[in-house]
Amino acid sequence: MSRYNAKVVEPKWQEAWDSAEVFKAIRDEAREKYYVLEMFPYPSGRIHMGHVRNYTMGDVVARYKSAQGFNVLHPMGWDAFGMPAENAAMQNNVHPGDWTYQNIADMRGQLKPMGLSIDWSREFATCDSEYYGQQQAMFIDMMGKDLVYRKNAMVNWDPVDMTVLANEQVEGGRGWRSGALVERKELTQWFFKISEFSEELLTALDGLSEWPEKVRTMQKNWIGKSQGLQFNFKTIGAPEGFEELEVYTTRPDTLFGASFAAISCDHPLAKALEANPDIAAFNQECRKLGATEEALETAEKKGYDTGLKVVHPFEAGWELPVYIANFVLMGYGTGAIFGCPAHDQRDLDFARKYDLVVTPVVCDEAQNPDTFSIGNEAYLGAGHIINSRFLDGLSIEGAKSEVNKRIAAMGLGEAKTNYRLRDWGVSRQRYWGCPIPVVHCDTCGVVPEKKENLPIELPKDVTFDRPGNPLDRHNIWRNCDCPSCGKPAQRETDTMDTFVDSSWYYARFTNAQAATPTVSADVDYWMNVDQYIGGVEHAILHLLYSRFFARAMNLTGHLPKAATEPFNALFTQGMVCHETYKDPDGNWLTPYEVKPVAGGYETDIGQPVEVGPSIKMSKSKKNVVDPDDIIDQYGADTARWFVMSDSPPERDVEWTASGADAAWKHLQRVWRLADEIAQSVDAGEIDAKAALALQKATHRAIEIVTDGIEGFAFNKSVAGLYQFTNTLAKSKADKATKIEAMKVMAQMMQPMTPHLAEEIWATMGGTGLVAQAAWPQVDPAMLVDDTVTLPIQVNGKRRDEIEVSADISKEELEKIVMANETVQRILDGNAPKKLIIVPGRIVNVVV
RNA sequence: GCCCGAGUGGCGGAAUGGUAGACGCGGUAGAUUCAAAAUCUACUGUCGAGAGACGUGCCGGUUCGAGUCCGGCCUCGGGUACCA
């Protein structure tokens, strides 16, 4: 018996595919295309199980679609800019570029042996100047279409390192390196006008029928459309220029329940009041809260009474105090609100703390309006208006429109639709990113670079011995000629958010070497991505930015109108999780640095290990496991088979080492079976019944495996293949029938275990490569069974089962059921109340 | 805090509102072997001798019938705009 040796077999077939250029995607208008794309990886240096799972899923789809006759595009690239490269530069004194390209080489070296059906000729990294130069060209085009602007925005500022920090680099309000308390600081930064597309991005979600509902819901909530009222309060005692305070509210119906007004610490009025040292100090304290929404929302609600008042618009003598409050966001609405504590939990918490009036103005229909009062929980439900003069008795909706009408008539404001979605700040004060291609000229102001000067390449000679952006202190690079007047000028030193890089890479893959961002013949043919696959963690930012960018590319002539929604179908796979470990000093440990002991883990030097929850594998938490061991030990097919088994693709998986061995055993078994069949000799009479049974099982397997792949339930396809293997192993059918069955097995296994499938295909005498064979077709006649097993329930509980012919009549079935011993015993002479028959499924006797 | 998910045997998981636990791991017993590995066969949710009872995170509801639908919770995970 010949043995299956993955180490020999896998490279052999990979070479065969390469030399036949099986996976090279060639534009061919005569053929229908299919574009499969997995979210490209960040080149951290090692592939992990998440990558293996993600790229195997994409590969299964790509190979399956190819077998169905589509002209498949399945490319790969690298999301190569970003912070880790700069961190490595600081820690290990390596250049971010060298570090990144070395990582790419390492990871490519790990990916290629997996036998993925990728067209590697289209590979690029976003840090290639050929790529980011085209991105700069599009930035300039977007400036031309007025999609880009500058404004002030907040960043995390480390006052010791004198540098901008990412949110991730702020831990408990302190800078991760310096330990200094982080402040919010205003900087002039570049923005894309994504908010101009709020409505469009929202309504277009309805057309994304092949996206998961949860992703569309998350994006909808993120865009956050709200109908409200924007109006002015008259102020009393405010500095000059602040005679009015403009607020935005989604609850104008609760205006008579107002008990205070509140402004953000970044509101112009709050800043104007900073002459008062107490207010300056309070504002400063608020700014130390950090810049994230989470930090602001979970912080204890605090306010400072400015002493100013605003006048209620419907009652001249009614004055409300004006607070500066740490929970009011400058970035949403007008940065000022009125608080109605009875019907907003945050406002209520605030009012209880500062002892403000709480007047209910919406009454629960189930309550008595005279006694309805608010405890420590705001009332958010439906009801009618009370305590509100001319609004009393109205519904919430009725009151809203009445208030809007009166405010508009008084000339104080108007109804307004607001969106939570903010413009996309793309400025990063960092080196390892795409330089923003503009020049600052004393004469001409801010001007775009000339396209013929692109790419504006990053200078190589930089150092990371000091914090901050090396571009800022690289005077040779910074100094340039103004593209407009030719006089000496200075380059912009901000680079772009890496989300920009990943917002159009899918389009670049359609012609990765072009001298323009895209080529219309190629985007026209290959776009859209038919199946996009990636993690749910990208449900909002990456996917929303990509949807915006595709629209911007359409407006600047780089994508056709048909590609403004670039991803036809989206599948979000679950994450690969692992426990986290910390040593007694609180440093993260990798799973390789801990060893199991009774009751837990300890370090190499015997220190106790604190075990944390199982969470998304990430470099920063060090809970990453290498798939290399499995690939080395068992081969790529085993690794691929293993990650497709068991867990449904959309679910998170917890990495465990057991099970890989089982996958390997199964593949060995299939090979052994194929080998036995090839060497077998028919003896005696041919068993026609067994042959038919095997043929039927084959077609049932085709149905299960096909449905599994179509439905992104690869684990069910795998289970079906296990079952089919068991059937085939036990079959008494003749050799020819078994060979046919085994050939179908090879075709069905090909997307998941392509190397073994080729080997079996060749052994069974298949023509050509199984990678190029057509997908097997189900013969519906082979799926029909003569008899069917029906469970019999009594009162919904299963009591017995009967075997009946598949086309039995209802009357006949009733007779059989009533004659059934178990039913008779339970009925005990009584007549049944009801008999429910679901044809082919179940019988339920109701007593 | 807010938004979005998930929760089923010892474990990974299966189940158009219709036999809960397919398939795999692990376990037990047996065959084979000088012995072992490998392989093959059978059994394997819990309780119970059995009939049967109980079982899908918790509480309640709809239904002839609920893991599945509805309401209210709990726990865990993802996102929260400078991690990618």
Across the range A314-326, mean pLDDT stands at 93
Place of tokens 């994450």: A575
Alpha helices in A464-563 (DSSP H): 475-478, 498-501, 505-508, 520-526, 541-555
Per the omega criterion (within 30 degrees of 0), is the bond before A453 cis? no
* Side chain identity at residue A320, one-letter code: L
**Whole-number distance in Å between A613 CA and B76 C1':** 9
Report residue A17 as tokens: 């595919």
Q: Report the run of H or E that residue A37 belongs to, with start and end.
A: strand A33-38
Q: Report the run of H or E that residue A431 belongs to, with start and end.
A: none
**What pLDDT is stored for residue A813 in this prediction?**
86
Calculate the alpha carbon distances from A84 to A125, A426, A536, A622 in Å: 15, 18, 22, 13
Calculate the alpha carbon distances from A140 to A81, A438, A639 in Å: 20, 8, 45
Question: Collapsing DSSP states into helix, strand and coil, what is residue A415?
Answer: strand
Which nucleotide C1' is nearest A44 CA? Answer: B84
Q: Which residues contact A245 (CB under 8 A, 6 or more apart)?
A: A232, A233, A235, A238, A261, A263, A269, A310, A322, A336
* Side chain identity at residue A177, one-letter code: R
* Side chain identity at residue A624, one-letter code: V
Q: Which nucleotides of B are covered by protein (CB under 7 A)?
A: 1-6, 11-16, 18-20, 22-26, 38-41, 52-53, 64-66, 76-84
**What pLDDT is stored for residue A613 in this prediction?**
66
Looking at residue A78, the DSSP 8-state letter turns out to be B
**Whole-number distance in Å between A653 CA and B75 C1':** 18
pLDDT confidence band for A291 (50 / 70 / 90)? confident
Which nucleotide C1' is nearest A673 CA? Answer: B39
Nearest alpha carbon to residue A322 among A372, A369, A393, A267: A267
Candidate from A87-101, A555-569, A830-844 with smallest mean pLDDT? A830-844
| Cβ neighbour number for residue A321 with a 10 Å cutoff | 18
**Whole-number distance in Å between A576 CA and B56 C1':** 24
**What pLDDT is stored for residue A787 in this prediction?**
81
pLDDT confidence band for A596 (50 / 70 / 90)? low
Across the range A384-397, mean pLDDT stands at 91
Which nucleotide C1' is nearest A730 CA? Answer: B40
The rounded Cα A118 to chain-centroid distance in angstroms is 23
pLDDT confidence band for A620 (50 / 70 / 90)? low
Instruction: Report which residue is nearest nucleotide B39 when distances run from CA to C1'.
Output: A669
Helix A213-223 crosses helix A541-555 at what angle (to 10 degrees)? 70
Looking at residue A450, the DSSP 8-state letter turns out to be P
**Whole-number distance in Å between A764 CA and B40 C1':** 24
Q: Do residues A228 and A249 touch, judged by C-beta distance below 8 A?
A: yes
Which nucleotide C1' is nearest A43 CA? Answer: B84
Query: For A733, how many CA atoms within 13 A lie in the half-sphere containing its CB?
Result: 24
Q: Is the pLDDT of residue A598 over 60?
A: no
Q: What is the pLDDT of residues A810-834, one digit of tens each?
A: 888 888 888 888 888 887 777 788 8
Report residue A281 as tokens: 């100090």
Looking at residue A127, the DSSP 8-state letter turns out to be T
**What pLDDT is stored for residue A661 in this prediction?**
85
Nearest alpha carbon to residue A218 among A205, A209, A228: A205
Nearest alpha carbon to residue A766 among A173, A40, A774, A228: A774
**Whole-number distance in Å between A794 CA and B41 C1':** 36
Q: Is the pLDDT of residue A656 over 70?
A: no
| Cβ neighbour number for residue A827 with a 10 Å cutoff | 15
The rounded Cα A730 to chain-centroid distance in angstroms is 44
Give the integer Cα–Cα distance in Å for A292 and A170.
Answer: 10
Across the range A798-817, mean pLDDT stands at 84
**What pLDDT is stored for residue A623 in this prediction?**
72
**What pLDDT is stored for residue A157 in this prediction?**
92
Which nucleotide C1' is nearest A544 CA? Answer: B81
Q: Provide the strand spans (E) within A215-329.
A: 225-236, 244-249, 260-263, 303-311, 319-325
Which nucleotide C1' is nearest A842 CA? Answer: B18
Across the range A149-177, mean pLDDT stands at 90
Which nucleotide C1' is nearest A843 CA? Answer: B18
DSSP string, A204-228: GGGG-TBS-HHHHHHHHHHH-EEEE
Give the integer Cα–Cα distance in Å for A115 and A110.
Answer: 10
Give the integer Cα–Cα distance in Å for A607 and A33.
Answer: 57
Instruction: Report strand pairing: A529-535 vs A567-573.
Output: parallel
Q: What is the sign, positive or negative, of the torsion defined by CA atoms of A752, A754, A756, A761?
A: positive
Nearest alpha carbon to residue A269 among A337, A336, A354, A338: A336
**What pLDDT is stored for residue A833 in this prediction?**
83
**What pLDDT is stored for residue A619 in this prediction?**
66
Instruction: Report which residue is nearest nucleotide B25 when distances run from CA to C1'.
Output: A659
**Whole-number distance in Å between A759 CA and B25 C1':** 27
**Whole-number distance in Å between A539 CA and B19 C1':** 39
pLDDT confidence band for A289 (50 / 70 / 90)? confident
> In terms of pTM, does the model score above 0.95?
no
Give the integer Cα–Cα distance in Å for A114 and A714.
Answer: 18
Give the integer Cα–Cα distance in Å for A564 and A567.
Answer: 9
Question: Collapsing DSSP states into helix, strand and coil, what is residue A48?
Answer: coil
Across the range A658-662, mean pLDDT stands at 79
Q: Do residues A510 and A523 touch, judged by C-beta distance below 8 A?
A: yes
Q: What is the sign, positive or negative, of the torsion defined by CA atoms of A465, A467, A469, A472?
A: negative
pLDDT confidence band for A628 (50 / 70 / 90)? confident
Give the integer Cα–Cα distance in Å for A103 and A88.
Answer: 12
Question: Largest Cα–Cα distance of chain A, in whole Å?
Answer: 108
Per the omega criterion (within 30 degrees of 0), is the bond before A455 cis? yes
Q: How many helices (H) and strands (E) does chain A have?
A: 26, 35
**Whole-number distance in Å between A836 CA and B51 C1':** 27
Which nucleotide C1' is nearest A420 CA? Answer: B81
Q: Is the pLDDT of residue A1 over 60?
A: no
Give the integer Cα–Cα distance in Å for A766 and A759.
Answer: 10
Q: What is the pLDDT of residues A50-70, one digit of tens each?
A: 889 999 999 999 999 999 999
Give the integer Cα–Cα distance in Å for A304 and A321.
Answer: 10
Instruction: Report which residue is nearest nucleotide B24 when distances run from CA to C1'.
Output: A646
Which nucleotide C1' is nearest A653 CA? Answer: B12
Q: Do residues A123 and A43 touch, judged by C-beta distance below 8 A?
A: no
Q: What is the pLDDT of residues A697-756, one digit of tens each?
A: 999 999 999 999 999 999 999 999 999 999 999 999 999 999 999 999 999 999 999 999
Instruction: Report which residue is nearest nucleotide B6 when distances run from CA to C1'.
Output: A651
Q: Among A230-244, A543-557, A670-684, A724-738, name the most confident range.
A: A543-557
Give the integer Cα–Cα distance in Å for A193 and A196.
Answer: 6
Give the integer Cα–Cα distance in Å for A306 and A321.
Answer: 8
Candidate from A198-212, A408-422, A593-607 with smallest mean pLDDT? A593-607
**Per residue in A64-83, is it b (16+ CB within 10 Å) or e — as a string?**
bbbbeebbbbbbbbbbbbbb
Q: Do residues A389 and A256 touch, judged by C-beta distance below 8 A?
A: yes
Question: Collapsing DSSP states into helix, strand and coil, what is residue A195?
Answer: helix
Q: Express as a percent the part of chain A with pLDDT over 70.
A: 97
Q: Do residues A576 and A653 touch, judged by C-beta distance below 8 A?
A: yes
pLDDT confidence band for A446 (50 / 70 / 90)? very high
pLDDT confidence band for A581 (50 / 70 / 90)? confident
Instruction: Report which residue is nearest nucleotide B23 when distances run from CA to C1'.
Output: A719
Report residue A124 as tokens: 């690029």
**What pLDDT is stored for residue A477 in this prediction?**
96
Nearest alpha carbon to residue A801 among A785, A784, A787: A787
Q: Is the pLDDT of residue A599 over 60?
A: no
Instruction: Report strand pairing: A594-597 vs A834-838.
Output: unpaired
Q: What is the sign, positive or negative, of the torsion defined by CA atoms of A198, A200, A206, A208?
A: negative
CB-based burial label for A453 (10 Å; 0-12, 13-18, 19+): middle
**Whole-number distance in Å between A658 CA and B28 C1':** 20
**Whole-number distance in Å between A174 CA and B2 C1':** 24
Report residue A451 as tokens: 């396209």
pLDDT confidence band for A583 (50 / 70 / 90)? confident
**Whole-number distance in Å between A166 CA and B84 C1':** 12
Q: Is the pLDDT of residue A768 over 60?
A: yes
Give the integer Cα–Cα distance in Å for A393 and A412.
Answer: 25
CB-based burial label for A806 (10 Å; 0-12, 13-18, 19+): exposed
**What pLDDT is stored for residue A756 in this prediction?**
97
Across the range A199-223, mean pLDDT stands at 95
pLDDT confidence band for A494 (50 / 70 / 90)? very high
